[in-house]
Each structure stands twice: as structure tokens, then as C-alpha cells.
Amino acid sequence: MATNKKLNFPKRKKKKSRQQNKLGKAPGTISYMGDKERGDSVIYSTTYNADGYETKEFTDLEAFFAEKRTDQTSWINVVGISDEPFIEKLGKHFNLNPLVLEDIVNTEQRPKVDEYDDYIFGIFRMLYISEEEEIVGEHIALVLLENTVLVFQEVKADVFNGLRDRITGKLGRIRTRGADYLFFALLDAIVDNYFLAIENLNNRIEILEEEVYSNPEPVVAKNIQLLKKEVLKIRRWIFPVKELISRLIDSENPLITKDTKLFLRDVLDHAIEINESLQIYREMSMSLMEMYMSNMSNKMNEVMKVLTIMASIFIPLTFIAGIYGMNFDHMPELHYRYGYYVVWIVMILLFIGMMFYFKKKKWL
Amino acid sequence: MATNKKLNFPKRKKKKSRQQNKLGKAPGTISYMGDKERGDSVIYSTTYNADGYETKEFTDLEAFFAEKRTDQTSWINVVGISDEPFIEKLGKHFNLNPLVLEDIVNTEQRPKVDEYDDYIFGIFRMLYISEEEEIVGEHIALVLLENTVLVFQEVKADVFNGLRDRITGKLGRIRTRGADYLFFALLDAIVDNYFLAIENLNNRIEILEEEVYSNPEPVVAKNIQLLKKEVLKIRRWIFPVKELISRLIDSENPLITKDTKLFLRDVLDHAIEINESLQIYREMSMSLMEMYMSNMSNKMNEVMKVLTIMASIFIPLTFIAGIYGMNFDHMPELHYRYGYYVVWIVMILLFIGMMFYFKKKKWL
Amino acid sequence: MATNKKLNFPKRKKKKSRQQNKLGKAPGTISYMGDKERGDSVIYSTTYNADGYETKEFTDLEAFFAEKRTDQTSWINVVGISDEPFIEKLGKHFNLNPLVLEDIVNTEQRPKVDEYDDYIFGIFRMLYISEEEEIVGEHIALVLLENTVLVFQEVKADVFNGLRDRITGKLGRIRTRGADYLFFALLDAIVDNYFLAIENLNNRIEILEEEVYSNPEPVVAKNIQLLKKEVLKIRRWIFPVKELISRLIDSENPLITKDTKLFLRDVLDHAIEINESLQIYREMSMSLMEMYMSNMSNKMNEVMKVLTIMASIFIPLTFIAGIYGMNFDHMPELHYRYGYYVVWIVMILLFIGMMFYFKKKKWL
Amino acid sequence: MATNKKLNFPKRKKKKSRQQNKLGKAPGTISYMGDKERGDSVIYSTTYNADGYETKEFTDLEAFFAEKRTDQTSWINVVGISDEPFIEKLGKHFNLNPLVLEDIVNTEQRPKVDEYDDYIFGIFRMLYISEEEEIVGEHIALVLLENTVLVFQEVKADVFNGLRDRITGKLGRIRTRGADYLFFALLDAIVDNYFLAIENLNNRIEILEEEVYSNPEPVVAKNIQLLKKEVLKIRRWIFPVKELISRLIDSENPLITKDTKLFLRDVLDHAIEINESLQIYREMSMSLMEMYMSNMSNKMNEVMKVLTIMASIFIPLTFIAGIYGMNFDHMPELHYRYGYYVVWIVMILLFIGMMFYFKKKKWL
Amino acid sequence: MATNKKLNFPKRKKKKSRQQNKLGKAPGTISYMGDKERGDSVIYSTTYNADGYETKEFTDLEAFFAEKRTDQTSWINVVGISDEPFIEKLGKHFNLNPLVLEDIVNTEQRPKVDEYDDYIFGIFRMLYISEEEEIVGEHIALVLLENTVLVFQEVKADVFNGLRDRITGKLGRIRTRGADYLFFALLDAIVDNYFLAIENLNNRIEILEEEVYSNPEPVVAKNIQLLKKEVLKIRRWIFPVKELISRLIDSENPLITKDTKLFLRDVLDHAIEINESLQIYREMSMSLMEMYMSNMSNKMNEVMKVLTIMASIFIPLTFIAGIYGMNFDHMPELHYRYGYYVVWIVMILLFIGMMFYFKKKKWL
């Protein structure tokens, strides 16, 4: 078959950004989008049932595949998703669709839940408060298979320690239930931590509120705008979650038992509550800006009043002084015995009159 | 089974808040979230039928369980929900799901209604006006079982006295009807009290409105913002109620008879009306802020007019006085017989001209 | 059965308002909520069929009940709803649910339509323009029974005279049709009068618009806010009507014939149109406020320009005069022959230069 | 049957408007609402099939009814709808419901489509650009019967000439298709002309935009408000069309063939596009006002800067001159040889310093 | 059949625009709406299967029709759509509906997808960044037939080179799949390029944000408004895509295999994400304007403070100097030995007092 190689048309794009690296690639291409240093992926595997539990750590995939996991529930925690071939091999082992793998390493992916025949796949944002008291959102991917939950995260640090303690300490129901309960418990931990983010926003709004009243500097306006952007950003991460969980509850996938759905309903409740709070914070940040503007305008009023009072009092007085500073030959008042004192008295009366006028206008 | 104990990942959270206490705990863990002092729970039990009624008070659960309640309707009023083991035992006695108990003691829980096979469970906010004329929202949980309604509240003070009087005084239908009618009557009392909150908001809006017109001080702007926040807060408590009651009406749960649904439709009507009012108050509080800004801007205009009038009149006059205060050797006007008087006449004419100009501009 | 009388909990409410009078009462309690003087209720009964009509007036219920109404259509017009026992007896005669009677005398009730097995019940607001050219909304209740329509209104004054003329004058179809057509005709008269309210709002918007442009006084801003509140209030009365009529059309109640539904579709059309107009008026009243603010800001600009022009011209000139008012021993210019005139020329040139500058800036 | 004539209640309305003329009249009363001079109605009838076409003009209804229209498609164009008896007779001839005739002559009727058993009836607004470059909306009514389309318009001037040319010139499919295609073609012509209105709005927005930047006079703000009102008005006419056409497409009325629905889908596309444009123009007109306010505020800033610069420079200098204008006996500086020059130098330095300061602040 | 030629009514339109050229034409008339120079259309045909591929270029339609395309997938890329007869002939060859051809050459057509029996037809906007760093949206039409995808574009320059490389380089699945996968891949390339437009908007917002804080010049406000308009424009192109793809996924058209729908779900995900981003950018551009206004108002405050401080300090001092510039015969202070120095001291104290006052007010 003949091939004439003038196929490509003039290109349309100029700047190179991370987003562009994906342009033109086939869908299902696994390419890491995050900004963490590329390092090796590590697998932390926790298997448990009502009788006991076992945790292991693998850096070698072959060793991991060699392991046998029988009638227990397995929590396969993959830390580090920048090693694309690693992820690809793992995905193949668990029979995951390439599109799923693409989403797992796409750290910009918005929250989603996709159901496949043999597994349910979800992307979420794990929110936590950083050392600098800032809200950080980290990409996390969950895959629920039969007896197994895969968790993919970028760095070894997460919000699941309470859950780990419940497994090791045999607290609550977790050890007696299957993988779908584990999946729920992970989701629950993620959503519960959203409350911390919400609390952090609340604190910042309260601080800004106080500043707006006490000290409406331009920097406060800037901070209000930053807050608004933050609320928008977090809303983007959190908003879809409500819908996704609700879809899980309505799903007829046999992987999720009716019993676990009861628990998911609880998570849904929390997600709805968080969305409502975010909505309120959005309106409150708008009110903050409004309040800032009103305080600015108030300060301006105050400045103008000082100016007006000073000018209105002293300009007429200066005019009177100017009159008697004129050098006409014939100015009888200048020669009066008490002319100077009369002028002073007139000035003082004028001053007092002005003061009364401004008092009446409540400008003083 | 081997256990290597390096399971927990680095933790992500720093500050400790009440919300955090729940983090990591298993779902269904009963942990009180309120800020009332922890005290003993007391049970006030009222049983009645068409023939009579009986009220008892228990602090000991065993004594309470020992009581027999036959073909009567029971209203079990639990005051104080901070004693978690107490609530847990009580819950077990009535076969309530741990998730329900968790919600009962979670004073931050947003309004919800959940239907279970044997009972219907609802969380609401009971609104009342405090001594300081402020709107207080208290967490209340209702559980409708067959023949029995459980009511959980934080403190002994509520909005149900009218209902109690109807039971003791045999007023209205209440004594001749079952538990579902009692459940409705409780809901009705809660929603009816929302009207008081609404009225309180209305009064505050009217007061603020008057202040905005008569005296647009910064404190008024602050109060408008506080009002807006209050409306947002109350809306959050009240808004879901409409949906919840509507769901109860559509429910096919045999616990609620068709007859009682007719009454629930009435409560639904009220809930819709209250939501509409809240919506209107929200718009009115926005208009208030707008009005405040317009009045501020108006005051500024007034201040500026005074300044402009004073400056525009006296600066030119002072200039004229300044002219004849110069010390040139050759200034013929200075030696005119009536020079001084002519200057006065010119000044007065200028003054009058200015006044006319400002009158024409409607600045005076 | 024993009764220990410490049943009532501490009360939560303090202020006494009309709303509160209803608190705690059993649902279905008939208590008048309006502010009209309590007077006797009068019944105006109009019975008609294709052959003729008859109108009677009753103040005594027994006499009214004694009347026989056979195969004719009856329009029972009850004027005065503050006499609760009267309403109750009447309700019992027509077999109306106590909840319906409660709504009939509740003059604060929002528009609603409820279908019962034997009758359809609707609450509406009858709008008309008062002598003071204000929009008044009066509570009206309609009940459609077989062959009979009950109308409850607070005072003897309404919007149905055109309809009365059609019955007495045998105009249109009304005499040849049943009670459902009468019900429709009443609704039609109510909704048609909404157009007058709308027209009144339109006139007021046009007047305010003119005032905003010609004379943006604070009182105009206040009037705009009053208009906004009025639109909100009327919207609350009118908005639900669309939905209610649409529900009547979809209803499968045999009381309303298919033929009459065709006419109801016409009323629905009008209701939709009125809602659209209200929406537009709402946006226009917002634009009015915006325009007011922009005109205020414009006036401020004008004031500032006058100040700036006056100050910028005369302050430098006064400075020059000040220079030559100094008393230094050695100021050669003072002794020049034409020094004084040169200063005048300089001043005039400065003045002209300033004028040109401000002309160029379009401030003059 | 006895008749006591005190039936009518006190009347509630005062002013007389066109709207009021309809009040109290029976539904289905045909009363012209427009403001065109009442003149005779003329019927322009065009009948055509694939073989040929014929156009006739009738002013006499009897002559029109005498005409025979067999297997052809008829376009009956009625110009002038103020002659109510004429319309009524015509309506009776075609078996139209009185409610339809009422809508046909009601020039205030909002767009609607009603399906009856034998015909489909639609009211639309025909938009065109007047000589004064203004958008005019004219009431038009279409009735699709079997083989016939009735068109009612107020004046002899419309947007259908292109369509007439296609019929006479045998262009396109029109001659080979039935009445439903003609109905579609009329609708298509109406909707296509909306694009001209849209274009006109766009031009006006662009002109205003330029004026806002170059010359933010109050008249520009007024024009922006007028534009906003115009957009609101046009939106009211155009907005329902989308829904109406979509309903026609979904209708199962045999009068509209499946083939024609394909074309209607195209009209629907246009209607959606026009609505989107209107939405965008609305947002743009809001931005215009915002921009106007920002430019006003900018101009104010400029004015204030000029004032501040002039005052800040010359007030301190005048003060210095004032000092040495004092008449104390002992002021050593006055007697210094170069005192006067030193003062000048100080003043000039001060002036230069101020200029630097303002330059640094970017006020110059 | 007789024909009287006075058929056309007075015309209603005046200005001639491109939009008007279409007015009055029959639907399905193919008329190019773009502004590219009219040139010849060229067809680039790429046929491929798993074994190989072949690309050819045709300017002559007959030669193109003569070609045989058997069991391979064909990508028929038509560059240049201004040659209407060319498009019409091509359309006829592929049996496309005239309405489809009309949309193909209508470069103003909003995005749409229409399903026909034998093909699926879609219009989209291809977005790319021009050399001037501006976002350009180009009209593109896709038609999916069995084994063939037709692509119509205005100029030879597009966003499909990555896709071409995958075909020639045998990368990914493309060569092993059918025409529906090609259709998806084209859509995917279009939507992926939307991310670049989004990124471009983001960059511009960030630049404007910085400028708003550092240098709030009027030109910044203008740029913010331009950005807002750009966002509105792009939103109009992108917004419908979500809905269209979702409709493709739900479609039961056999042309799209279930397998390909899985990939389309991925594109849908991206489309949703882009819409969300646009929504956020819209809110951010509104915040920008708000911030600009707040900074303007802040600058004004600063200007006013300078004026007030200067005037408040020097006007009283000048007044004092004016006092002792009066020429009264009897002014004892003038003759005091240290009078002059005392006045200086008073003035300096006043100056210091003022400075303290302004410091306390935080105006300095």
C-alpha cells in the first residue's frame, strides 16, 4: 500500500504546557500529570478477616503478584503513581481498563465514579490542612473489586489512620465485613476530613470579618478575593461527590451490598451538609466584600467630613482676616479703638456657629 | 497470623476541634457533639388513650424498661442526650440502628428523615426566641414507632406545652388518635414555632430599615450583615423541612395513616410558606445593604456640597482681599475715596451671585 | 388513671403576636387571623339556570339552610369571615373538613388549591387598586361543590360585578353552564384583575424612572425600595396561582368538566403572562436603583468639578497676591512703576490658561 | 322567577385603561386590544399546488366564502384585525373556538401554541427594524387547518415576501408540499427575522460600549438602561418560541407530517441560538453599566487628583507668604538683604519637592 | 391558472448584513456564511485498516467519486467550504440531507448533533491559540457514515495532527478500529484542545489579577470586560458540547458501538470539566471587576487623605498668619518683643497636634 507522507496539516498550537503533553496522544495512554518528584511506587497490602490481619510492603510487583489472598479482604494501598509502567502492569494484573489507569495517574482529574462489570472505580480529592494552615487537596483513586480495594495515592500521608487503627484494633464492624464496607470506610474518612477544610474556611471568614470591621485595608480585600477563589476551588472538588455517592447508592452493582448502602446514605448526608456549608461560605465571602466596600466608603465619608469642617470653618475666617489686611487708605474700622477685638469676637462667634451647625448635622 | 505494626501513615491534621473528635471513629459511634454541660438524661413518659392519660418521670433505665405500655399511645420524652451509654441502652431497647443513635446525639446534624422497617426517624431544629430576643435553634430528634413516639432533646424546655395541654385537657383529636398523629402534632408544633422566628426576623428588618433611612451609621451596616448571616443560618435549618415532610407524605410506610397525611399536608403548606418568607427576607436584607450604600453616598454628596459651597464662595473673596493686601507702591485703587466700599460691594454681589448659582443647581 | 400535673415544660416564647395566638392550638382550629372589625357574616345567595335567576340575602344560617336549591347552580357568597361559629356551622352543613375551614378564616394563608373527594377548595388573593391608588390584596376562598360554589370574602366589595352582570343580563355562556364554569369565571375575574395591579406597578415604575433621571433625591431611592418590596409582596400572592391552575387542569376530579378546562387553560395563560411581567418589573426596579446610584455618582462628580475648578483657579492667584503682600524691606517688584499691572496681567493669563485646561478636560 | 336587583357589590377599580375594557367581559369575547386605527380587514388569498398558483384579494366575506378551494394549499392572509364582527364571521366559517378568536385580536397576547382537534393555532411576534432603526414587534396569528393556513396581521407589511417569491417563482420545495410546510415556512420566516433584531441589539451594544469608554456621559447610562429594557421586552417575545416549537415537534397531531418536523427542528435550532444570544446581550448590558460606573469613578479620581495637587502645592506656599505678610514689629527676616529671594527659593524647592512626591505616587 | 402579480407586501427590512442574505431563502439552501476568501475546496482522503494506510488529495470531485473504498475506514477531509456547488455535489454523493449541507457551510451555526438513519452529523467549534495568543474558534463539521467519516473545515490547519500521526505510525488502537472510533478520536482531539483555550483564559486572568492589585488603570477595567466577553463567547461554543456528547452516548444508533461509547464517556468527562472551569473563570472575572472597583475606591481614599491632611494643617496656620497681617491701628500683639516668635511656636504646636491627630486616625 502506497504512502505519501504529506499527511500532517499546519499545526495550530504554540505554547507548551503540561496539558499539552497529553494533546494528540491516544486515549487510554497512561501519563502522570502531577508535580511530585517521580519516585518508585510502593505497595502496602493489608489483608484481614474477622480472625486477624496481616500487613506487607512490596516494591517489586512480581513478589506482590506471587502473594496469595484467599477468603480475606485486601486493602492494596499503592503510594506513588508517577511510575507509569508500574501502574500499567498492576492494572493489567487486576484487569483494569486502560481508561481507568489513565484517570488514576491524571492528578487533574475531577471526582468521578465509573462502574465496570467487575469493579467500581472512583476518583476523589482527599482534603487536609497543611502545616501552613492551608487546605491541600490530593488526588486519590479507589477501585473496589471483589474482596479487594485498591487505593492509589501520590504520597505516603493520608487521612486513613483512624481506619487502620480500627482494622488493627478490631474496633467497630470493619473486620467482620467485606471489601465494600472497606470501600465505604475509605470514602467516609475522605468525606469526614472535608469537615476540617470547611472548618478552616470558617475560621478564615471569621478572621476576615473582624479585620473588615476593625481595619479595612486593601490587603483585606485581597484576602477576601483569595478566600473566594479558595471556596471556588474546594467547591469544585467537593461538589460532585454528593452526586457520585448518590449514584453508588442507586447502583444495582452486586459489589455493593444493601447493608453497606445504608452506611453510604450516611456519607451522602455528610456530603450534602458540606455542600450547603460551602454555599453559605460563598455567600458570606460576597457579603464580606460588600462590607469592605461599605467600610471603605464610610472611611471616605469621615475623611471628607474632616476636610469639610476644617475648610468651612477657617476659609471664612481667613477671608475676614484678609479684609483687614487690605491697604486702602480709607478703612475706618482699622482706626477704631476696639476694631481688632471686635473682629476677634466676630470670628469666635462664627466659629461657634459653625460648630453648632456641624453638631446638628451629626458630623462631629 | 503475623502482624507488623508499622501500619499507620504520617498524619495529615493539626488543629483539634470538636469536629475532629469524630474523625477516624467508626460510623455508628455514638458521640455527643453539643456544648451543653454533660448531665444525666431524664425520661418523661406520657401514655394516653381516649379514656385517660398518665405521666411518669424516670432517671433509671431499668425502671423505665420494666413499665408496661399496652394499647395506649406513649410519648417518651428524653431530656439530655450527652449521656452516651444511656442513649445507647435506650436505643437497643427500641431496636434502633446505631447510625440513628449517632444522629440523635449529633447536635450538628442537619434536618433529615430516614425510614426504617419498624420506625421513622427524623432530626429537626426547634426554633424559639430567647430571653435576649434572639433566635435559638435547638437540635431535636423524633422517632415514630408503633404506638410510641420517642423525642430526644438537649434541655428541658421546648415548644410542646400547647400539645401537652391538649393531651391533659382532652382538647382536639389528639387523645383519640394514634402515635402517628402525635408525631404529626410534634412536627406541627415545631413548624408553627418557625413563624415566630420569621416574625422576629421581620421585626429586625423593619427596625434596620428605619435606621438605614434615619441614621446610616456603620453599625447599621454591621447589623445588616449579621441579619443576613442569621437568615442564612435559619434557612439552613428550615429549608430541608419542606422536602422531608413532602417525603413523609409520599411514603408508603404503614406507620403513617392516610388520615394523618392530610394533616401533614397542612404542615407542608406552612413549611413552604416559611421558606418563601425566608427567601423574601433574604432579598430584603440585600436591598437594605443597597439602601445603606445609597444613603452613605447621599451623605457624602451632602458633605461635598457644603465644602464646595463654602470654598467656592470664600476662596474668590479671599483672593480679592489678597489683591488689595499687596504692597505695590503704585496701586491707584488703594487711594480712591470709596475704594474700600466698592470692594465690599463687589464682594457682596459676588456672594449673592454664587448663592443664586447654587440655588439654581439645587445644592441649597 | 392517675394524673400528676407537672407535665408542662418551661415555656420558650415571650412576645405575644397574632401569629402566636395560633401556637399550641390543635390543627383544624378555626381562628380568624385578619384585622377587619369583627362583624356579622352575611350570605348572598344567587341561584340560576338557563331560565332565570334569583338572589337572596341571609344573616340567619337556619333560614339559609331551610332554602331549597334544586337543579340550579348556586353561588353562595359569604361576606365577613370573622364570626368563627358561623363559619363552623356553615362548614358542617357543606361537610367541609375542619382544616379547610381553618384556611378559610386564616387571612394570612398563601394561595393554595386542595382537592377533596366531594369538593375542590382554593385560597387566592383578590387584588384591586384602592382609592389611594395602592394595590390591596384581599384574602378570598372558593369552594367548588356539585352545583354550588362557595365564596368567602372579608368585606362586601369585590371584583365580581362584571360576572354578576353576566348572570343577571344573560350575557355569555354563564347561565347555561354548571358550577365548575362559575368557579372558572370567578378565578378568571380574580386573575384578570391582576392585570390592573400589574398596570399600577408599571405606572409607578415609569414615574420613578422619570424622577431618577430628573431629580435623584434620597426619597426616590426610598420609593424604589418600597416598589421592590411591593413587587415581592405581590409576587408572593400571584406566583403560586400559575401552578395551582395548572394542577386544576391536570386534575382528574369529575367536578371540573373537560370543557371548563379549556377555559382554565386561558386563565393559566394569563397567570403565566402576569408572572413574566412581575419578573420583568423586578429586574426593572433593580435597574432603577442602579440608575439612581449612577446619577448620584454623577451629581457628585459635578459637585467635585465645581470645587476643583474654583479651588484650582483661585488658590494659585491668591498665592500670587500673598507674595506681594509680604513685608520684606527689599522687594524690588513692589517699586516698579507697572508692577501692579503686570501682576494683574499674569493673573488674568493664568486664569485664561486654567479655563482652557478645564475646557480641554471637558469639565466645563 | 323573582329578581331583586341589588346584586352588584361596591366596585373596586378606579382608573380606566385599555386592559380594563376587558375586565368583566365573558371569556371568548372578541375585543381588539391594539392601537392601530380601526379599518376594514382585507383578505389576500393565495392558493397553489405544484402546477400553478393564484392570488386573490377580498374585502367582502361572502365573496370569499363563495370561492372554492379544492385540492390545493391555501394561504389566507387577513390584514387588519380591528373589525371584530369580520373576524368573528371568518372564525365561524373555519369553525374556530371563540377563545382562539379572542387571542387573535388580543395584540397583547404572549406567544402561544394551542392544539385543537381540527387545527393548530399559534400566536407569535413578528420582529422587524423600523425606519428609525428601532425594533418593532408586531402581533401575528397563524392557524394551520387541513390544506389551509390562516394568517392574521395588523397591517399590510410583513416578513413573508421571500416566501411569496418562492411560491410565485416555484423556488424550493414549497409548491410541492402541503399546508403544514407552509405553516413551517411562515414560522421560519418569523424566526429568521429575529436574527435581524438580534443584530440590531448587537450594533447598539457595540456603539454604547465605545461611548462608555470614550465619553461616559449620563445620557450613556440612560441609553444602557433603555437597552436593558429593550432586551427584556424582546426576550419576552422570543423566549417562549423555543418551547412552543419544541412542543409542535413532539405533538402527535396528524396535521404536521414527520417530514415537516425535520424542518421544524431547524427552526428550533435557530430559536435556541437566538435565546442564547439574548442571554449574552443581557449579561453584556449589565457589564456595560458596570463599566460605566467604573469609568465614572475613574473620572472622579482624576478630578480629585487635580484638586489635591493644586491645593497641596499652593496652600503651603500661600501660608509662607502669609507669614511674611504679618505686621509684627520684630520680624528679623523682613530686614535681611536677601530675605525675599530666600523665601522664593524655599517656595520653589517646596514646589519641586511636591511635584516629585506626586510623580512618585503616579498622580501626574 | 391566472396569476396577478401584486403578491408581495411592503418590505420591512432596511440594512443589508450577511445574516440578511439568508432571509427569505428556502430552508436547505446551501449558502456559505463565513468570511474566508472563496477558494477551491480540496479533499484529503485517508483510508486505512490494520494492515496499512493510504492518503490521497483530490480537487476534482469526479476523480474522487471514481475511487473505490472497500473494507477500510475512510477519513474524508474537505478543506474549504465556500464552494457551494462542490459541497452540494459531495452531499448528494453521500446522500446527505440538504438541511445538513446548509449547516455544514453555515459557519455561524452553533454546535449541534443530529442523527439521521444512515449517518450522524455534528457541528463543533475547533478552538486553538493564534499567533497573537488569542483564542480562535473555527467551524468544523463531522459526518459519521458507515466506514467513513467526513470532516469539513474552512482552512487547511487543524488540531488533528496527533491523530494523523497515530494513523501513520500505527500508534494506539486507531488502525484496528472502525469509523466510529475515528469519529470519537476527532471529537477527542477537538475537546482536548479546549483545555488549551481554558489555559489561555487562566493565564490572562492571572495577569489581570496582578495588574488589578499593582496598577488599577482604566485600561485594566477594559481588559477585564474584554475577558468577560471572551468567556461568554467561548462558553457559547463549548457549553452545548457536553449535552451533545451525552446524547451520542445515550443514542441507540448502530453506527456507534458500545465499545466506542466507553471512550465517548471519557470525552464527556472532559467536556464537563471544561464547563466547570469556564463557570469558575466567569465568577473570577466578576471578582476581578469588583476588586478593581475596590482598588479604585482605595486610591480615591488615599488622594482624599492627602488633600485633607494638607488642607487641615495649612488652612488654620494661614488663618493665624492672616490675623497678624491685619492693619488695625491697635493690635497689641504686633508690638510685643517676642510676638513673632510666639506665633511661630503656636503654629508649630498646632502642626504637631494635627500630625498626632492624623497618626491616631491612621491616615499617615
E6-54 pLDDT, tens digit each:
567 765 544 445 556 666 677 777 778 777 766 788 999 999 988 888 8
Per CB-CB distance under 8 Å, the chain B contacts of A159 are 12-13, 23
Across the interface, whether the CB atoms of E291 and A225 are under 8 A apart is answered yes
With bands split at pLDDT 50, 70 and 90, how would you rate the model's confidence at C13?
very low
B91/B73 Cα distance (integer angstroms): 19
Cell output for E80: 474549504
Handedness of CA A207, A209, A214, A217 (dihedral sign): positive
| Residue from C173, C302, C323, C333 whose CB has the most chain D CBs within 10 Å, to mutate | C323
Per CB-CB distance under 8 Å, the chain A contacts of B13 are 128-129, 159, 193, 196
**Is residue D4 over pLDDT 60?**
no
The verdict on residue A51 lying in a domain is yes
Q: How long a stretch of residues is chain B? A: 364
Torsions phi, psi of E83, nearest 5?
A: -85, 90
The verdict on residue E52 lying in a domain is yes
Across the interface, whether the CB atoms of E325 and D329 are under 8 A apart is answered no
The larger pLDDT score, comparing residue C143 to residue A333, is at: C143
The minimal CB distance from E306 to the residues D165, D300, D312 is found for: D312
Distance from CA of C189 to the nearest CA of D (A): 7
pLDDT of residue E96: 92
From B265, B295, B325, the end of a domain falls on: B295
Q: What would the DSSP string read from start to end of C67-134?
A: S---SSEEEEEEE----HHHHHHHHHHTT--HHHHHHHH-TTPPPEEEE-SS-EEEEEEEEEE-TTS-
| Residue from E18, E236, E307, E320 whose CB has the most chain D CBs within 10 Å, to mutate | E307
Per CB-CB distance under 8 Å, the chain B contacts of A166 are 24, 26
One domain for residues D224 and D126: yes
Per CB-CB distance under 8 Å, the chain C contacts of B315 are 310-311, 314-315, 318
C109/C81 Cα distance (integer angstroms): 14
Per CB-CB distance under 8 Å, the chain D contacts of E338 are 330
Across the interface, whether the CB atoms of A343 and E330 are under 8 A apart is answered no
A243/A249 Cα distance (integer angstroms): 10
pLDDT of residue A38: 67
D321/C321 Cα distance (integer angstroms): 9
Torsions phi, psi of B76, nearest 5?
A: -100, 105
Locate the chain D residue with the closest alpha carbon to E339.
D328
B51/D258 Cα distance (integer angstroms): 71
The larger pLDDT score, comparing residue B284 to residue D2, is at: B284
**Over residues D25-33, mean pLDDT:** 76
**Over residues B151-155, mean pLDDT:** 91
With bands split at pLDDT 50, 70 and 90, how would you rate the model's confidence at C124?
very high
Q: In chain D, what percentage of residues exceed pLDDT 90?
A: 44
pLDDT of residue E7: 61
The minimal CB distance from B9 to the residues A157, A174, A298 is found for: A157
pLDDT of residue E252: 87
The minimal CB distance from B129 to the residues C14, C221, C297 is found for: C14
The verdict on residue C125 lying in a domain is yes
With bands split at pLDDT 50, 70 and 90, how would you rate the model's confidence at C20?
low
pLDDT of residue E15: 43
One domain for residues D308 and D252: no
- The SS3 of residue E73 is strand
- What is the CATH number for B329? 1.20.58.340
| Residue from D156, D171, D308 whose CB has the most chain E CBs within 10 Å, to mutate | D308
**Is residue E344 over pLDDT 70?**
yes
Across the interface, whether the CB atoms of D321 and C323 are under 8 A apart is answered yes
**Over residues B257-273, mean pLDDT:** 90
The larger pLDDT score, comparing residue C82 to residue D15, is at: C82
Beta-bridge partner residues of E44: E57, E77
Q: What would the DSSP string read from start to end of C128-150?
A: EE-TTS-EEEEEEEEEE-SSEEE
The verdict on residue E4 lying in a domain is no
Cell output for A208: 476576615
Handedness of CA C240, C243, C246, C251 (dihedral sign): negative
pLDDT 10s digits, D174-219 = 888 889 999 999 999 999 999 989 989 999 999 999 999 888 888 8
Across the interface, whether the CB atoms of E293 and D298 are under 8 A apart is answered no
With bands split at pLDDT 50, 70 and 90, how would you rate the model's confidence at D34?
confident
The minimal CB distance from D174 to the residues E10, E26, E221 is found for: E26
One domain for residues C184 and C320: no
A201/A189 Cα distance (integer angstroms): 19
Beta-bridge partner residues of B151: B77, B142
One domain for residues D204 and D221: yes
Across the interface, whether the CB atoms of A26 and E171 are under 8 A apart is answered yes
One domain for residues E221 and E248: yes
Per CB-CB distance under 8 Å, the chain C contacts of B263 are 27, 99
pLDDT 10s digits, A159-213 = 898 888 888 887 778 888 889 999 999 999 999 999 989 989 999 999 999 999 8
Say how many CB pairs under 8 Å bridge B and C: 200
pLDDT of residue E50: 85
Average model confidence (pLDDT) across chain D? 87
Residue ranges making up the domain that contains D312? 301-360
Average model confidence (pLDDT) across chain A? 87
Torsions phi, psi of A111, nearest 5?
A: -55, 135
The verdict on residue E12 lying in a domain is no
pLDDT of residue A7: 62
pLDDT of residue B13: 46
Tell me the H-state helices in B80-217: 84-93, 98-105, 161-169, 179-214
pLDDT of residue E215: 81
pLDDT 10s digits, B275-313 = 999 999 988 988 999 899 988 888 888 899 999 999 999
pLDDT 10s digits, D259-273 = 899 899 989 999 999
Locate the chain C residue with the closest alpha carbon to D332.
C328
Closest of B343, B355, B345, B349 to residue B310, by C-alpha: B355
The minimal CB distance from A301 to the residues B17, B299, B340 is found for: B299
pLDDT of residue C117: 87
E162/E169 Cα distance (integer angstroms): 10
pLDDT 10s digits, E232-241 = 999 989 999 9
**Over residues C316-326, mean pLDDT:** 93
From D259, D275, D295, the end of a domain falls on: D295
Across the interface, whether the CB atoms of E131 and A307 are under 8 A apart is answered no
Per CB-CB distance under 8 Å, the chain A contacts of E322 are 317-318, 321-322, 325
One domain for residues E276 and E193: yes
With bands split at pLDDT 50, 70 and 90, how would you rate the model's confidence at B3?
very low
**Is residue C297 over pLDDT 60?**
yes
One domain for residues D335 and D201: no
The minimal CB distance from A25 to the residues E162, E287, E328 is found for: E162
B62/D207 Cα distance (integer angstroms): 84
Average model confidence (pLDDT) across chain E? 87
With bands split at pLDDT 50, 70 and 90, how would you rate the model's confidence at C127?
very high
One domain for residues D333 and D187: no
One domain for residues E306 and E202: no
Q: Is D288 in contact with D205 (CB distance < 8 Å)? A: yes
The minimal CB distance from B301 to the residues C5, C299, C314 is found for: C299
pLDDT 10s digits, E163-194 = 888 888 877 788 888 899 999 999 999 999 99
From E295, E314, E334, the end of a domain falls on: E295
One domain for residues D234 and D288: yes
With bands split at pLDDT 50, 70 and 90, how would you rate the model's confidence at A6?
low
pLDDT of residue B84: 87
- What is the CATH number for C33? 3.30.460.20
The verdict on residue B19 lying in a domain is no
One domain for residues C88 and C168: yes
With bands split at pLDDT 50, 70 and 90, how would you rate the model's confidence at A92?
very high
- The SS3 of residue E144 is strand
Locate the chain D residue with the closest alpha carbon to E30.
D172
**Is residue A127 over pLDDT 80?**
yes
pLDDT of residue B324: 92
**Over residues E337-346, mean pLDDT:** 92
With bands split at pLDDT 50, 70 and 90, how would you rate the model's confidence at E72?
confident
pLDDT 10s digits, E153-168 = 988 878 898 888 888 8
Closest of D85, D90, D84, D83 to residue D61, by C-alpha: D90
Q: Look up residue B76 and give its DSSP letter.
A: E
Angle between helices A339-360 and A258-323 (to 10 degrees): 160
Domains: count for chain C? 2
Could you tell me the strand order of the sheet in which E42-48 lies? E53-58, E42-48, E73-79, E148-153, E135-144, E120-129, E112-115
pLDDT of residue C156: 82
With bands split at pLDDT 50, 70 and 90, how would you rate the model's confidence at A256?
very high
Across the interface, whether the CB atoms of A221 and E158 are under 8 A apart is answered no
- The CB-based long-range contact list for C174-178 (8 Å cut-off, 24+ gap) reads C174/D26, C175/C48, C175/C49, C175/C50, C175/C53, C176/C50, C177/C73, C177/C260, C178/C73, C178/C147, C178/C257
The verdict on residue E253 lying in a domain is yes
Distance from CA of A301 to the nearest CA of B (A): 6
pLDDT of residue C173: 80
pLDDT of residue A3: 47
**Over residues B141-159, mean pLDDT:** 91
Could you tell me the strand order of the sheet in which C120-129 lies? C52-58, C42-49, C73-79, C148-153, C135-144, C120-129, C112-115
pLDDT of residue B15: 43
pLDDT of residue E13: 45
Across the interface, whether the CB atoms of B8 and A265 are under 8 A apart is answered no
Per CB-CB distance under 8 Å, the chain A contacts of B321 are 319, 322-323, 325-326
**Is residue C241 over pLDDT 50?**
yes
The verdict on residue E182 lying in a domain is yes
The minimal CB distance from E330 to the residues A29, A321, A337 is found for: A337
One domain for residues D248 and D191: yes
**Over residues D338-352, mean pLDDT:** 93
Distance from CA of D14 to the nearest CA of C (A): 7
